Amino acid sequence: MADIFLFAGTIEGKELAEALCKVGINVHAFTATEYGGALLEAGAGEADAEEASNTAVAARLVAESNDLSLGAIASVETAEVYGLKVLEANINKSGENTTRFAVLSKVRANSPTFTSSVLMFTVKHEVGSLANAINIIGKHGYNMTALRSRPLKKHSWQYYFYIEIDGTIDTDNGAKMIDELNKVCNRLKVAGTFAPQPEI
């Protein structure tokens, strides 16, 4: 039986790996994200999960290998760049997926359109510590529009939190909020400000 090498990092990639496994095809799945790896580990039959840095790199590896048993899940544009044949387009089942890009600078940017802020912090690994930080943000009248967590690389089961809020912190109220957050956070960084984009 043939082996299939699949580069994925999405729900669709997991479903494709599962479908191939059900018909007896050995699948070796390479994921572009920890998220993709977790999806595959959650039940992709005989699929082996390994990690690639991103789907564009996976597509390049497929192109360079000249191995017809390899495949990648990537954009149509990426397939064109690497001369790959698109077997099926638009496999994403959600129209809500978007990619955001950030322009970073060491110099603080001032613009009247920058009406939102980004905070990053860690808290103690104990009951209520994240809730305490979130309550401080709300107490000072800031609307939290995004909350994401990412694992700390050197500390199992501990996370840093990324928060987007409506408003800037260069006010007296913002300074008071930051002061209070410093008392409950292990580490706190104001990552910057940005202009919120309308819904696509």
Q: Is 108 part of a structural domain of the chain?
A: no
Say if CB 120 and CB 189 are below 8 A apart.
yes
Instruction: Enter the pTM of the model.
Output: 0.54
190 shares a domain with 120: yes
- pLDDT, one tens digit per residue, over 61-73 is 888 888 776 777 7
Say if CB 4 and CB 87 are below 8 A apart.
no
- pLDDT, one tens digit per residue, over 67-123 is 776 777 778 888 899 998 887 777 666 666 665 656 666 677 677 788 889 999 999
Is the confidence at residue 198, as pLDDT, over 80?
no
- pLDDT, one tens digit per residue, over 119-173 is 999 998 889 999 999 999 999 999 999 999 988 877 777 889 999 999 988 899 9
Is the confidence at residue 191, as pLDDT, over 80?
yes
Host domain of residue 159? 116-194
Cα torsion 122, 128, 134, 135: sign: negative
**Alpha carbon distance 44, 11 (integer Å):** 11
125 shares a domain with 76: no
Q: Is 107 part of a structural domain of the chain?
A: no
- Which has the higher per-residue pLDDT, 26 or 121? 121
